[in-house]
Structure 1
Amino acid sequence: DIGSSKLNIVCGAKNFKKEDRVAVALPGAKVKDITIRKNKIRGQISEGMMCSEMELGLSSESEGIMILSSSCGIGDSFSKSVGLDDVVLELEITPNRPDCLSVIGIAREISALIGTEFITGEYDFKKRLNIDSKFEIEIEDYDLCPRYSAKLFKNIPNIKSPQWLKNRLILCDVRLINLIVDLTNYVMLETGQPLHAFDKDMLYSNKIIVRRAGKGENIKTIDDSIRILDDDALVIADED
């Protein structure tokens, strides 16, 4: 039931039940690089596709189709139902204005242009975190990186990001990974400070080395691609 009519859709997922609200791509819609068409599947005519979070670009992985809130209206726009119908401003920042590469930077610039007070958020750290300081940083190239800071956090649950966080990153064309990575990307967009989270279990030791790439050095990036580095590239490495 899509509100205006009832369709027959063949779906192999098993994580939904009667009366669940789901996202449906109708014939003609484009999901990633695939144009949805009316097809015959398992001997039945399928008039659309029930979508997963991964197919909709809302997650890097998913188990079954996306189940929406029961408050979503049947036949309503998907983007409106999940809060993705916001307005996005696309700005071209020139190389001499890196201070504007963030939400705070743009807000500061606008306040100066129109002559209003620039109000920053107030941060109240009532609870002190127990942060392990037994972590060594060695900077080999101060020209490329004069300062590098790191903190070790423990017992952080690696769970899915809340929908509001996903929405803001999606609207900024940022790939969703998991809560920890998504938070670092969100803070970077807000403040302009690049951040990166490492899994300590994957590090050789409690030491981070900031250096210039070696000749012919390559790395495997998060998208499983092998990339060759030039000798001007900055590398954050462990001792291995």
Structure 2
Amino acid sequence: MSNILKGKVALVTGGSRGLGAATAEAFADHGADVAISYAASADKAQAVVERLKAKGVRAIAVQSDQADLSSAKPLIDRVMAEFGKLDVLVNNAGIAIQGQLVDDPELDGETYNRQWQVNVLGTIANTRAAAPKLTDGGRIIFVGSLLGSSIPFPGVADYAGTKWALAGYAKGIARDLGPRNITVNIVQPGIMPTDMAADVAGELPNRDAILDMHPIRRIATLEEVAATICFLAGPHAGYINGETINIAGGLGI
């Protein structure tokens, strides 16, 4: 597509499938070398790496379970050992546990607590490990969710809370890292065609009714979201900082 990211090294967490894989491929299309992390899907991760290498860039996959906070430093160390630098961190990895109301007497507290561990504490651990290593002028992009700022249906309080927490954290580190010309932004997609979305679809209210809430009545494509992430990582977004960009067809306006 172009070489606007040639010479850059990007790490995309949760890059073995869904939006993470699409984002990794978009970075490669723009010339960046790419590392992806994955929790368990080694075969899928290696398949993504092969597709990236076929585009003429360097690529690796690193097993790293974000639920284990001690995995963050080894992940960043591996990227630095392989590529010698890190220019872009895309905090994409996360899980979606939805469907139960907060007053449900059968609320699965342990599972919902794990969601906070993975989505928030795991992401923060990766960010803390990466921040001292990021090149000056680098980029951090958090993949949030429109549910972080707009709740069109019940049963998503904890998931929404994890994403809103990350949005606040991102704005804070945008202040911290601004003197190094490192920008930090949040991309908030709506519903996307991913395995994770399919897993929770059965727990949502009437899907057609949700689509009817969208001024543009469709879900986002992975390519649309990945392109926005690449833009924020590129040379034309150097003065966009601490911002939240919704990619949800107008849902929530």
Q: TM-score range by the shorter chain?
A: under 0.3
TM-score of the pair, normalised by structure 2: 0.20
TM-score of the pair, normalised by structure 1: 0.21
Which of the two has higher C-alpha Rg? 1
